[in-house]
Amino acid sequence: MHAPERRHNDAAADAFFAQKRTGEDIARIRNQDEPTSPDLVHAWQERSENRRVAREILAIADQYFADHEVELRARVAEVSRARFRGGMLPLDVYTEPRRHALEFASRGYLRANAASPTSSLTIFRWLTTDYAQRRPDMAL
């Protein structure tokens, strides 16, 4: 949106909200409202609860990762080397330690699936944080 259009919209919004409304206007506006359907209310509550659980799990996982990062990375590196020696693809050493911390944090939650990387963009971003900080393996 360009600046002139934004200024025009801001001016129109200010004029709209500055208007004095009579009691009849307010009553007419309220009569236009329809009650929200119970299905929509339930879906909103479900989504809100899932987000709350994801935030709680993420906070626990973040603290656990900060406290145990060295052990998690060492364990993942060991398993990754063993997989490679066994002819399998190695683990992703950047996201796997965070995934282990996330699994630890989500134990005991009934809605643990709310904190999966496929259902929460916040969780996905947290898991892939190391990719943004990763330096090249070789200097050119």
Can you give the residue ranges of every domain in the chain? 58-135
Question: What does the pLDDT read at residue 128?
Answer: 81
For the record, the structure tokens of 59 come out as 């906070």
CB-CB contact of 59 with 101 (8 Å) = no
pTM, full prediction: 0.63
Q: Return per-residue pLDDT of the chain as tens, 140 residues.
A: 688 888 888 888 888 888 888 888 888 888 888 888 899 999 999 989 988 888 899 999 999 999 999 999 999 999 999 999 999 999 988 889 999 999 999 888 877 777 887 777 888 888 887 665 555 555 54
Question: What does the pLDDT read at residue 131?
Answer: 60
Question: What does the pLDDT read at residue 35?
Answer: 82
Question: What does the pLDDT read at residue 123?
Answer: 83
H helices of 1-140, in order, are 3-18, 23-32, 38-85, 96-106, 121-127, 129-133
**What is the chain's alpha carbon radius of gyration, rounded to the nearest angstrom?**
25
